[in-house]
Amino acid sequence: MRNPCTILLLLIPLCSQARTLVVDVVSDEVFQPDFLGDAPNFGAFITYNDELYFTASIGQEPLGHPSHRLFKTDGETLTRFEVDPGFHIGTQFVEFQGSLYFRGDSGNGIELFRTDGVDLVEYDLSDDESGSWPRNFEVVGDRLYFGANRLGSDGTGGPSLMVLQDSVGSVVADVQVDTSYAWHASVDDTLYFSANGSDGYEVYRTDGQDVSLVVDANPGPGGSNPRPEGVLNDAFYFTAEDAGGRALYRATPESVAQVLSSDVRLSAGLRDFGGRLYFSADRGSGYELQQTDGGEVRQFDLNPGPQSSNPLTYGGAVLNGQLLLPATGPEGAALFVFSELGDLVRRIDIGDSQRPSAVYFQEAHGSLYFSVLGDGVARLYRTDGFSAEEIYSPPEVAGRRFISVYDSESLGGALFVPATTEGGDGLLRITEMEVEVLDLLPGQARSYPRNLEALGDQLVFMANGPDGESVYRLDGDGIHELLRTTPYLTDIYGNGLLAPGATTTRFVRFQDQLLFLANTPKGFQLFRIQAVPEPTTLHAAAIALVGCVPRRWRRSRSQ
């Protein structure tokens, strides 16, 4: 006899879990506006031992300057260190040999501090009540270099280049280190720096023990006012002035050579690509593009004739292994494309007859998106490295039109760009196929969307709502307010007239959170935004199991 078949129905719970954005306060700590009465200073961020360190203003000193403190957070709690790292005085943090070093003031003047995240160690490098003012930290191998003012109790001493090894500081040279630029050149364990010696400010180098002058670019007491330009192919490049102007130099631990003489007028902004430096200089035919690998300098006349091409070497971008540089060509604004071998492979005319004065790039969908400010109007373009097309020109609304590629953000296969729309300030949602205009806050012409950040599958940004600054999120269902800040009035311009003060700071991304300061009825507090799972939804799924059950088994169950 055939065995009958039995169907078993099992109900299996399935979990369907989405994530939502939650904003909450990290700590009860209250921060104070800066000395102008605007939003608190909030910056100098560094991540150390999986915690975020930053400095923020907490009040005013007797002379009206803001007082700051060092803080750290793991995203859940906030810890305050009773030392003022400053803000306007140039806060600097550097991680070295497992510890965090920074300058700060605990009441004994501005000195060097070290922390392991728990304890603070202060280096008392000067007997002067104002401290040693350590600055320009630079790690080279197993050494930490910095400048400091070392004065003894008898007033002797002065500016020095210091080096720290194995937590012990020593003097390398009694020279005044230039603080105008961040000297960060390390070649073959050699530090290059600018200092004021007997011949004024010139470039020096040291291995931590011996110090030597690289070149006396401007003989005499006047100095050459050198500027660092970067490291390329194991050589340090810098510019320096002499009687004829500013020249470009290339230095190694063994030699120094003048790459371009001072009778050539150099423009600021050197670009490194493919083992070559790109920069702008006038060699008698206007400002044109120059290129060098440390040897001969090659000139590209991008705009033949007496007119300069004015290449924006500081504003270029790399796409598919090629360098795209904005400049003025024969037909107006253009992108000039260079290969990794240094060859000019094509010119992409943008179609704007004006000289580009500002260009910002953002890569998405295998293309570069950029805005060009020509005749006072910023237009949005897209290029694949072969051609370019204008994809959006903002209308003028309430006397304003703008595009902020600089503040754009990618999310879900789309690029979001703040821009003026017909309804006022809004967002552009750009895909490979279309440009969609999103009017953020109808009736709010100047909402000024900014600080765009992708978090989870949603877009977070700040904007000016009808009642002041708010934090918003954008998802598939539209725009939602996450946090409304508390407005206040302040004499921000110092003319006795009250004006609205900023009630938020920029976002800083830490792990999977966005941190920022926002004004509340209590004052400015530290907030976090994070994506958290929504409550679990259970669904029942019926699964049919069909099988032939033996007769004996069926009988035994029936007995």
State the DSSP string of 367-435.
Answer: EEEEEEE-SS-EEEEEE-SS-EEEEE-PPPBTTB--B-GGG-EEETTEEEEEEEETTEEEEEEE-SS-E
- The Cβ-side half-sphere exposure at 73, using a 13 Å CA radius, reads 24
> How distant is the alpha carbon of residue 326 from its chain centre?
22
Measured over the CA atoms of residue 385, residue 387, residue 391 and residue 397, the dihedral's sign is positive
The pLDDT of residue 536 is 59
Give the pLDDT of residue 156.
67
Taking the CA atoms of the chain, what radius of gyration do you get in angstroms?
30
Separation of alpha carbons 401 and 404, rounded Å = 10
Q: How far apart are CA 347 and CA 324, in angstroms?
A: 9
CATH code matching the domain that covers 264-393, chosen among 2.120.10.30, 3.40.640.10, 2.170.190.11, 1.10.357.10: 2.120.10.30
Largest CA distance in the chain: 116
Looking at residue 340, the DSSP 8-state letter turns out to be T
Q: Using the 8-state DSSP alphabet, how is residue 315 labeled?
A: G
d(CA 80, CA 73): 9
In this prediction the pTM is 0.85
Q: Say how far apart CA 338 and CA 322 lie, in whole Å.
A: 6
Q: Give pLDDT, residue 481.
A: 93
* Residue 87 confidence (pLDDT): 62
Kindly report the number of other CB atoms within 10 A of residue 249's CB atom.
22
Question: Any idea what the Cα angle at residue 417 is, between residues 454 and 19, rounded to 5°?
Answer: 20
Strand-pairing partners, residue 165, are 168
Report the first-to-last Cα separation within the chain, whole angstroms: 21
- The amino acid occupying position 539 is H
Other Cβ atoms within 10 Å of 462 Cβ, number: 26
Burial bucket for residue 343 (CB in 10 Å: 0-12, 13-18, 19+): exposed
Instruction: Name the residue ranges covered by the structural domains of the chain.
Output: 264-393
Mean pLDDT by runs of 10 across the 559 residues of the chain is: 44 56 93 76 91 88 70 95 73 88 89 92 88 87 87 74 81 73 69 83 87 88 85 88 88 87 82 92 89 92 89 90 93 93 95 67 93 77 94 86 91 94 92 91 84 94 90 91 90 76 93 95 95 66 43 35
Separation CA 407–CA 465 (nearest Å): 19
- CA 388, CA 401: separation in Å to the nearest integer? 22
Three-state secondary structure along 176-237? EECCCCCCCEEECCEEEEEEEECCEEEEEEECCCCEEEEECCCCCCCCCCCEEEEEECCEEE
Sign of CA dihedral 250, 256, 262, 263: negative
If one counts every other C-beta atom within 10 angstroms of the C-beta of residue 31, the result is: 24
- Main-chain phi, psi angles of 307, to 5 degrees: -80, 145
**Token code pair at residue 372:** 């060009």
**pLDDT at res. 81:** 92
Whole-number pLDDT of residue 14: 47
